[in-house]
Structure 1
Amino acid sequence: MSGAGDEAVAGRAQLPALRGGLLGTARASPLLVWFREVDRMLLLFTLLLMAVGLVAVGSASPASARRYSDGAHQVASMYYFWRQLIWVGASVPVLFAVSMLPATLARRLSLIGACVFLVLLILVPFIGSEANGARRWIDFGVAELQPSEFLKPLFIVSMAWILSLRAKDPELPVLAVTGVLTALVAVLLMMQPDFGQTMVFAIVWILLLVISGLSPAAIAGLFGTAVAGVVAAYLFYDTARIRINSFLFPDKDKALAEHYQTDMAERTLTAGGWTGTGPGMGQVKYRLPEAHTDYIFSVVGEEFGLLACAAIAALYLAIVLRVLLKLIDEEDPFRLLAAAGLAAQFGVQAAINMAVNTGLAPSKGMTLPFISYGGSSMIALSLGMGLLLAFTRRNPYLKRSSYTVRWSGR
């Protein structure tokens, strides 16, 4: 017993020195402290997805360049690859910079950013530019910006903050407030129209409510409302009805565009078999619309095989599971909700895109995170992943309860 007591006393004596050394290191090298606290595995998975995306866009670029070239305008075969390389180069600093923010500052900036991009989303119907029958972008001359992409992570953090207030005062009407805000965003997105993004916002909002601790009766009512919302969208929202009908009841005589896209995506995906035709050797991809964006997963299937597609799906799953495992012992309601919501948004978006490419869901016009071509998508996803890394950062020496118990001699 005396030996154990002496060891505990010695541990308590060493702890101040250890803390002083760590804090001294923190003052001397913030970058080193960030490297110790950040989830390096999660960061590695993210950078790996970016690298896979560059390879995938390089494979899809010739097909898209041919499709969008005409007699008056010729697109270079690797045009989209070089553009994507620029976007990745701009996104990586965003990812690292945001991940270094203190959680409190990251939350405040997210609230401000959510307000800014909500205003921009409201302005899209009035000043937005149109492409492929949809008005989703604002042209700033140098580049086009899609407000909904940037709003997603910022909106999730804002909803997490509002719902976390319920822990301090259960009487606050957080359900009503977040419901009204989500409904506003949904209406604005359906006006574009963008049914896919609407689904992402709605699904993540429902998941946040469930995580926040709603009663079983409230959860049941919530899911009932969600089902009623889908039915209403089918009955009164033309975009949803057309896409659902073309998926469930395809009319081959009319050859609806949505049915053609999903059909060609399936053919492209399976054309390479298990191991693929090889980089640049795919041929079916040349008949695939939006090969570099919405249907890039199918291009990967043709040229690198179904095994490569399975590996990509496993990588997305690993990222989501990694975050959930880190949140098991999280005690801060805001950090728990924000990180879980950001991980859910990332996973839901990836799942929807892959479901569309495999013919399990109707076409929705949604990018595959970090792999599809797109400037707004790439930078916004880097912003979201940076926030996720910021909210899951932990000091491995001073924040673990097991460490405190061990050094307290209990």
Structure 2
Amino acid sequence: MLNRLKAILADFFQQADLVLLGLCCTATVYGIVMIYSATRYSNSNRPVIVQSVALFLGICMYIFLSMVDIEIVMKKWKWMVGFNIVFIGLLLTPLGIGGDTTGNQAWLQIPGIPFNIGPAEVVKITFTLLLAKQLAWQREEKRDLRSFRSAAMAAGHTLALMGWYVVISGDMGNALTFFFIFLCMAFAAGFALRWFALLFVGCGGGVAAAWMLDLIPSYMKNRFLVLFDHSYDVQGAGWQQTRSLLTIGGGVWFGQGYLQGTQTQAGEGSLPERHTDFIFSVIGEELGLVGCLVVIVLLAAIIFRVLLVAKNAQTPFHSYICVGMAAMLIFQTIINIGMCLFIMPVIGITLPFFSYGGSSVVTLFMAMGMVSGIKKRSPTMRRPGRPLPGRTIG
């Protein structure tokens, strides 16, 4: 058994993507250091301990999934469809708990696990795998990916999952992540641009109609209204982002110093959700613009690495998976930083690898482990200019 384990680890260190692992670990450790500062006022080390345990589990999952052949796993794709439906459905059981003041039922509290699990975090990965399988199957069956039928099949799959999740959880933020993953994967697969235009017009019209018919909850409307008028509902919908801007603005170029942030080290009411949704604001205050740029560079490097693996993937299926994983990171990064800068609505999207969240860290490492496994099974780098099926990636 010991010799077998040594052989597996030797194979991992020889063929897996150690650069990607190093970037992910660096980002997570950076996040843990800042989470300690953000929660220091509470005199509780639990968030740091949970995040550290999640990092260890994440590394284990990264190593394991680097060794797994996704092609073999996806032979049981019907089981994965059932898993998505049932796992989200668990939110309706006594295990489901609310994640914020809006009443969103978006978390599972499972006895014996030291952190709550967000089903969306796991389903983002399984959804990406299923959509990649669907797109690859359509290509293998010589389906015209530019046709309406092909576009409707992929869009229907996505909208069905989004609808199921939103109806049960009320969490629109993660539902939009599914939608963005679909858009990027469909674009990479070569879907006709006219279908994207039609989709945007349809979604835009639907949102406008829902707004005018007062079908959108008032708290959700207010989160958008404050973006256009920062003085609107400052004590309500705009409170978190107003405090976030104040916090970031206090850091200037090099910050006020680690553990020295005025708002970060103040009491409960100074900066809400400072270790989760607004960890970027904490970094801005204590480490300044330089610290924020390091965050952006690390996340950009991870995303670039994933897209590089996509470009050199052995099959379209593998390439689509990597594009989906990169899309997940891109969307969460843009939305979270935009939330902190008061240019995006607060929709409960955390900053990948940096924000507190055990299930988020573990599932992110799982996703990157799959990318590493794809890199491990890919041929040597293609010569520059060699195109992939669908649109060129990278």
Q: TM-score, normalised by structure 1?
A: 0.81
- The 5 A counterparts of 1:217-236 are 217-232=194-209, 234-235=211-212, 236=215
Which among 238, 241, 245 is matched to residue 225 of structure 2?
245
Q: State the Cα deviation string for residues 78-115 of structure 1 (Å, max 9, x = none).
A: 33222222222222211221122123235457764453
Letter in 2 for 1:290: E
Which among 112, 115, 120 is matched to residue 142 of structure 1?
112
Which among 105, 111, 115 is matched to residue 82 of structure 2?
115
Are the counterparts in 2 of residues 272 and 303 from structure 1 also a CA contact under 8 Å? yes
Structure 2: 5+ residue runs without aligned partners?
384-394
Are the counterparts in 2 of residues 350 and 369 from structure 1 also a CA contact under 8 Å? yes
Q: State the Cα deviation string for residues 342-368 of structure 1 (Å, max 9, x = none).
A: 111112111211111111211111111
Question: 2:388 corresponds to which residue?
Answer: none
Question: 2:250 corresponds to which residue?
Answer: 271
Q: Does residue 314 in structure 1 map to residue 286 in structure 2?
A: no
Are the counterparts in 1 of residues 234 and 242 from structure 2 also a CA contact under 8 Å? no
Are the counterparts in 2 of residues 270 and 306 from structure 1 also a CA contact under 8 Å? no
Q: Number of residues paired by the alignment?
A: 363
Query: In structure 1, how many angstroms separate the alpha carbons of the residues matched to 2:323 and 2:99?
Result: 33
Question: 1:73 corresponds to which residue?
Answer: none
Are the counterparts in 2 of residues 110 and 154 from structure 1 also a CA contact under 8 Å? no
Measure how far apart 1:28 and its partner are.
9.2
Q: Residues 111 and 59 from structure 1, CA distance in 2 versus in 1: closer, same or farther, beyond 3 angstroms?
A: farther
Query: In structure 1, how many angstroms separate the alpha carbons of the residues matched to 2:319 and 2:206?
Result: 28
Which among 176, 181, 192 is matched to residue 215 of structure 1?
192
Which among 40, 46, 57 is matched to residue 35 of structure 2?
57
Are the counterparts in 2 of residues 98 and 383 from structure 1 also a CA contact under 8 Å? yes
Q: Does residue 255 in structure 1 map to residue 234 in structure 2?
A: yes
Q: Residues 232 and 44 from structure 1, CA distance in 2 versus in 1: closer, same or farther, beyond 3 angstroms?
A: farther
Q: State the Cα deviation string for residues 279-304 of structure 1 (Å, max 9, x = none).
A: 21112123000011000110111111
SS at match of 2:317: helix
Measure how far apart 1:233 and its partner are.
5.6
Q: State the Cα deviation string for residues 166-191 of structure 1 (Å, max 9, x = none).
A: 11123485533332232122223433
Q: Does residue 36 in structure 1 map to residue 3 in structure 2?
A: no
Q: Residues 97 and 111 from structure 1, CA distance in 2 versus in 1: closer, same or farther, beyond 3 angstroms?
A: farther
SS at match of 1:292: coil
Are the counterparts in 1 of residues 309 and 374 from structure 2 also a CA contact under 8 Å? no
Q: Please say which structure displays the higher CA radius of gyration.
A: 1
- The 5 A counterparts of 1:142-221 are 142-143=112-113, 144-171=116-143, 173-191=149-167, 192-221=169-198
Query: In structure 1, how many angstroms separate the alpha carbons of the residues matched to 2:288 and 2:79?
Result: 43
Question: 1:21 corresponds to which residue?
Answer: none
SS at match of 2:348: coil
RMSD: 2.6
Q: Does residue 363 in structure 1 map to residue 346 in structure 2?
A: yes
161-170 or 136-145, which moves further after superposition? 136-145
Q: TM-score, normalised by structure 2?
A: 0.84
* Identical aligned residues as a percent: 25
Letter in 1 for 2:117: L
| Misfit runs of 4+, over 6 Å | none
Question: 1:392 corresponds to which residue?
Answer: 375
Question: 2:56 corresponds to which residue?
Answer: 89
Q: Residues 77 and 33 from structure 1, CA distance in 2 versus in 1: closer, same or farther, beyond 3 angstroms?
A: closer
